[in-house]
Amino acid sequence: MPDERCVRIDTHFWTYDDGPMSERVKRTYNLSPSTVRRVREMAEEYHVASSQDAVVELAVDELERRLRDEREGEMWAATASDPQFQAESDELEQAFRSADRETWPA
């Protein structure tokens, strides 16, 4: 008679799944009821994304893009008053002026 305290564990290689772990992380945020309602509406009524999680991801991606564009714009604006950048830009323009004329239509 087998010992009832023993547990048989099947260790054959075809009995387990070693696939990649999910790339999702479960988080909890405290949002206002109106924000929760708008996220739900965007997912369910307007079909902005396939789920409420996807709506939030889209919103975060868009905010990050806007912030990155703003920072990049500020950097380009700063170069307008940078004499070293302007000199290098003028030098490159002169160096490639003939090549541009050869390749760009008139």
pLDDT on residue 82: 94
Query: Running along the chain, 106 residues long, what does each successive block of 10 average in pLDDT?
Result: 62 58 84 97 96 96 96 94 94 88 77
pLDDT on residue 102: 81
pLDDT on residue 60: 96
Quick one: angle between helices 33-44 and 52-79, nearest 10?
100
pLDDT on residue 19: 61
Q: Which two tokens stand for residue 69?
A: 């564009």
Helix, strand and coil content of the chain, in percent to the nearest 5, comes to 60, 0, 40
pTM: 0.62
